[in-house]
Amino acid sequence: MSIEDHGIYPDLLRCFRDHGHEVFTVSAYEKRLGRETTLIEDNGAHMLHVKIGNITKCNVIEKGISTILIPFKYLSAIKRFFANEKFDLILYSTPPITLSRVINNIKKRDNAKTYLLLKDIFPQNAVDLGMMSKTGIKSIIYRYFRKKEKKLYSISDRIGCMSQANVEYVLKHNPGMPAEKVEICPNSLEIRDLRLNEEERIKMRKQYGLPLDKVIFVYGGNLGKPQGIPFIIECLKTQEQNSDAYFLIVGDGTEYGKLEAYFEKAKPQNMKLMKRLPKEDYDRMIASCDIGLIFLDHRFTIPNFPSRLLSYMQAGLPVLACTDPNTDIGKTITEGGFGWWCESNNSYNFVLAVNQILSESSFEKYSDNSFEYLMKYYNIDLCYNIILSSLNM
């Protein structure tokens, strides 16, 4: 990762740097990349990349062991490269939740303030998806990670959640936590206008072999268990004969093979499956489509709020979210006037939503609302100011 990349984390780091703060980062190189621990000076930021085990695109046992070992590898690298630095603020996100040892060590050493950017509620999300259990032998693993989660919350001076539903969930399931400790600090970006004019849209569609005369629904991002891939396939099956719509799936992840198998068997004529693209190409292709798709597994009891929403909004896309009822992302989209929501427990809900969208004479109003909502509520300066204000810095 470079500090000049675009995304919720590099954008926030740049914001701190551009406001005159000295920025130090610690991030991971997974073992499968074949890189060693190294310190890089990158446009005013000191970026320490630490070699760890694999935590993505691997089985749950390997991921679990690698996650447990992260704090030891991080502490070793920090002592080696940042022993003489004194930090005022420590920012960190979930996942993982096993960094409490690292955070606490630096907090005590430097009397630093700590701010948790809560992007995932683990281990409950693993319980929801059947990967862990609160009873039986699997409960040992759950109790271990739940203890780590509580420790991380306890050493955090403030916890920034992605939405109001996240705030309410954290307070409800962590009795005794002071309400003033938890606040909304949403996923945010340095706003870039990635909307395309009609000439550019046609050019991009031709480049990727996409139809010019259909409404294109696009899903871009991770294709793993949280997205509920079997349900996505059910939804796609309902649309195989839809002559007015085209469905584009772009991404990668542990469940990609299930989608690939469906496409190879069904050979749908109004759909396309693509592997992840370089970010610039991906952004422009997304912007050439009409409707962004968000899917979340219906079993979730935690209120996820996927950051891919922001990539759709930067492209000025209206959004159709098909999710569990516990997240408030659907409420945000519908009340913001830039899209639609349906529950992900029945593919017929998806059929009704698609039909409703296709009945619209124009998406211009939704598109304008999407970009305007992004500028108003998800600007990176908002996130920066929330963090410093809440910690009185």
Q: pLDDT tens, 295-327?
A: 999 999 999 999 999 999 999 999 999 999 999
- Would you state the torsion angle of the CA atoms of residues 215, 240, 206, 371, taken in this order, to the nearest 10 degrees? 30
Average pLDDT rounded to a whole number, residues 327-335: 96
Fold of the domain spanning 8-190+379-390: Rossmann fold (3.40.50)
**What is the distance between the alpha carbons of residues 62 and 124, in angstroms, rounded to a whole number?**
19
> Where do the structural domains in the chain lie, given as residue ranges?
8-190+379-390, 198-377
CATH of region 198-377: 3.40.50.2000
292 pLDDT above the threshold of 80: yes
**What is the distance between the alpha carbons of residues 118 and 198, in angstroms, rounded to a whole number?**
38
Average pLDDT rounded to a whole number, residues 164-178: 95
C-alpha dist (Å) from residue 390 to 84, 160, 180, 226: 28, 10, 9, 31
Percent of the chain with pLDDT over 70: 100
Average pLDDT rounded to a whole number, residues 206-212: 94
Average pLDDT rounded to a whole number, residues 241-252: 94
Q: Looking at residue 372, what is its pLDDT?
A: 97
1 pLDDT above the threshold of 80: no
H/E element, 315: none
Average pLDDT rounded to a whole number, residues 122-148: 89
Q: Looking at residue 61, what is its pLDDT?
A: 82
pLDDT interval class at 362 (50, 70, 90): confident
Q: Which residues on neighbouring strands pair with residue 291, listed in sequence order?
A: 217
Average pLDDT rounded to a whole number, residues 25-32: 88
Q: Which one is predicted more confidently, 7 or 392?
A: 7
Q: pLDDT tens, 48-104?
A: 999 988 877 778 788 778 888 888 999 999 999 999 999 999 999 998 788 899 999
Q: Looking at residue 326, what is its pLDDT?
A: 95
Q: Looking at residue 337, what is its pLDDT?
A: 96
Average pLDDT rounded to a whole number, residues 341-357: 95
Shared fold status for 8-190+379-390 and 198-377: yes
Average pLDDT rounded to a whole number, residues 260-266: 94
Q: Looking at residue 234, what is its pLDDT?
A: 95
244 pLDDT above the threshold of 80: yes
C-alpha dist (Å) from residue 63 to 17, 59, 130, 227, 350: 32, 6, 16, 19, 33
Q: Looking at residue 97, what is its pLDDT?
A: 81
Q: Looking at residue 96, what is its pLDDT?
A: 78
Q: Looking at residue 273, what is its pLDDT?
A: 96
